Amino acid sequence: MNFRTKVELPERETEIHHSSNIVLFGSCFAENIGNLLAENKFRCEVNPFGILYNPVSIHKALLQLMEGRRYAEKDLFFSYGLWHSWMHHSDFSAFSVDECLNRINSRLMKASDALKSADWLVMTWGTAYVYVHEESGEVVGNCHKMPDKMFRRFRLDAKTLVEECQDVLKKCREANPKLKVLITVSPIRHAKDGMHGNQLSKATLLLAADELCRVCPDCYYFPSYEIMMDELRDYRFYADDMLHPSRMAIEYIWDCFSKCYFSAATHAILKEWEEIKKGIAHKPFSPESDAYRKFLSQIVLKIVQLKEKLPYLEVRKEIELCESRLKI
């Protein structure tokens, strides 16, 4: 008997390789997938503004990267003992102006170069609700727990979202014609919008994603939202807050993602790297023993051989870790 409804995955029209340059923007689900890509040695730039939930803020961030924008003190505000940016997650906030600007601008420089040479832009839309800062009239990426009276909240409509995204992607592709786009809707429920409000928000995003993929070339949709809502609808697949996917759910969605976009050759590389990761994570009874030293040497050899096949892999950290253990 079959006790669940399977989500039909899209046919593989294109592929993501270890040689691909990937830039990811969006909600914490984008971080989850981005971190898994990075752990498996794909070349990624993940959320250079920190987590962004609404598409308008993602679009603003993309334009700022294409323009080579740099932040100055006038772009920040001071609250609760920290300097913040309305466009950035609190991970970028700092006690001093200089430190805050250094965190922001160092990531901007790196991400700007990454986007202009990227093969893939992955956008995970989290909510269709946006907050407008009343004083400036600008949509903010993060309210930083400031009073509600400072903002006006409204829900985007699908038509406006599609038109705006088309304009932004057109500008991105003027600088980077090879850029492919992958859109997902975050499966994370926004309970603060109310459950009905959350459904309206997700429906808006789904309609916009569907239309954008229809009218925009090299634009693809991955059904992470549908997988979570249908295949993984049981609460055992949720984290303790009952809103975010559990680790098991994230890994299942990652497996679906890999089936959609990874070739047999890429899967073979993933298998090789998984064996290397397990070897590095192994905790020996006797770290000083000859047997363990031989074991580490074999791991280093496997890493070097993989690096020879794929020169663009960044494996220096793993080699240095093994070599430091060999010196014990």
Cα–Cα distance between 125 and 202 in angstroms, integer?
A: 9
pLDDT tens column, 196-247: 999 999 999 999 999 999 999 999 999 999 999 999 988 889 999 898 899 9
pLDDT tens column, 294-305: 999 999 999 999
Residues 6 or more apart whose Cβ sits within 8 Å of residue 39:
277
Cα–Cα distance between 143 and 32 in angstroms, integer?
A: 22
| Model pLDDT, residue 4 | 78
Residues 6 or more apart whose Cβ sits within 8 Å of residue 14:
180, 218, 220, 261
pLDDT tens column, 72-96: 999 999 998 999 999 999 999 999 9
Best CATH choice for the domain 21-262 from the list 3.40.50.1110, 3.30.200.20, 3.40.1790.10, 3.10.20.740: 3.40.50.1110
Domain boundaries in the chain? 21-262, 272-326
Query: What is residue 102's three-state secondary structure?
Result: helix
| Model pLDDT, residue 1 | 64
Kindly report the average pLDDT of the chain as a whole number: 94
- pTM of the full structure: 0.94
Closest-CA residue to 222 (of 173, 181, 189, 264): 181
Query: What is residue 217's three-state secondary structure?
Result: coil
Cα–Cα distance between 267 and 205 in angstroms, integer?
A: 31
Cα–Cα distance between 328 and 325 in angstroms, integer?
A: 5
Give Cα 311 to chain centroid, integer Å.
Answer: 24
DSSP string, 53-93: -SHHHHHHHHHHHHHT----GGGEEEETTEEEETTS-GGG-
Average pLDDT over residues 166-192: 95
More confident position, 5 or 256:
256
**Residue 328 banded pLDDT, cuts 50, 70, 90:** low
Strand partners of residue 24: 46, 122
Percent of the chain with pLDDT over 70: 99
**Residue 326 banded pLDDT, cuts 50, 70, 90:** confident
Cα–Cα distance between 305 and 26 in angstroms, integer?
A: 35
pLDDT over 90 at 318, yes or no = yes
| Model pLDDT, residue 262 | 96
Beta strands in the chain (DSSP E): 21-26, 43-46, 76-79, 82-85, 120-125, 129-133, 139-140, 151-155, 180-185, 219-221
pLDDT tens column, 138-170: 999 999 999 999 999 999 999 999 999 999 999
**Residue 105 banded pLDDT, cuts 50, 70, 90:** very high
Q: How many CB atoms lie within 10 A of CB 171?
A: 15
